[in-house]
């Protein structure tokens, strides 16, 4: 198991906190809340070691497209990048609903 942390500049507030997903095989859960500052903070706990660069690429891309001052916590059980992107999108959508 690995814990990874990422940080991005951000300005848009999170309308509502959101929770999506499940820590099941090949899946992940995402907790999304307003960040205390003008930054996005992401903590990932993942069962699959050695994929730090993949997480970085996925999150870099996500925050390039989403200016969101969010505190995000991810508990991952070996999801593919595609599933990660999907869950993040679901979380953002839920935070707007």
Partner 1 sequence: MTVSVRSKTRFTELSARERAAALLDSGTFRELIGPFERLESPHLEPQGVVPACDDGVVVARGDIGDQRAVVLAIEGLFQGGGIGEVSGAKIAGALELALRDAERGHPVRPVLLLETGGIRLQEANLGLLAIAEIHAAIVALRSHVPVVGVVAGMVGCFGGMAIAAGLCSHLVMTREGRLGLNGPQVIEQEAGVAELDSEDRRLVWETIGGDQRVATGMADALVEDDVAAIAGAVRIAFETGVPAEHRSAQVGFYEARLAGIDASEPLDGPALRTLWRDEGVGR
Q: Taking contact as CB under 8 A, which single stretch among the options 27-35, 50-58, 62-70, 85-93 is the one that binds partner 1?
A: 27-35
15/70 Cα distance (integer angstroms): 10
* Residues in 51-70 that interact with partner 1 by CB under 8 A: none
Q: Are 85 and 62 in contact (CB under 8 A)?
A: yes
4 binds partner 1 (CB under 8 A): no
Size, binding site for partner 1 by CB under 8 A: 21
36 binds partner 1 (CB under 8 A): no
Length of the chain: 97
Record the tokens describing residue 94, joined without a space: 């839920």
Query: How distant is the alpha carbon of residue 19 from its chain centre?
Result: 11
Which one of 6, 14, 27, 41 is in contact with partner 1 (CB under 8 A)?
27
92 binds partner 1 (CB under 8 A): no
12/10 Cα distance (integer angstroms): 6
Quote the least distance from Cβ 80 to partner 1, whole Å: 16
């Amino acid at each position: 198991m690995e814990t990874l942390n990422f940080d991005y500049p951000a300005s848009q507030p999170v309308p509502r906190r959101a929770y999506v997903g499940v820590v099941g095989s090949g899946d992940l859960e995402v907790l999304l809340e307003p960040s205390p500052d003008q930054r996005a903070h992401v903590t990932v706990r993942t069962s699959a070691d050695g994929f730090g660069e993949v997480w970085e690429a996925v999150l870099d891309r996500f925050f390039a497209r989403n200016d969101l001052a969010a505190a995000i916590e991810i508990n991952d059980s070996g999801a593919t990048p595609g599933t990660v992107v999907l869950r993040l999108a679901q979380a953002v959508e839920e935070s707007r609903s």
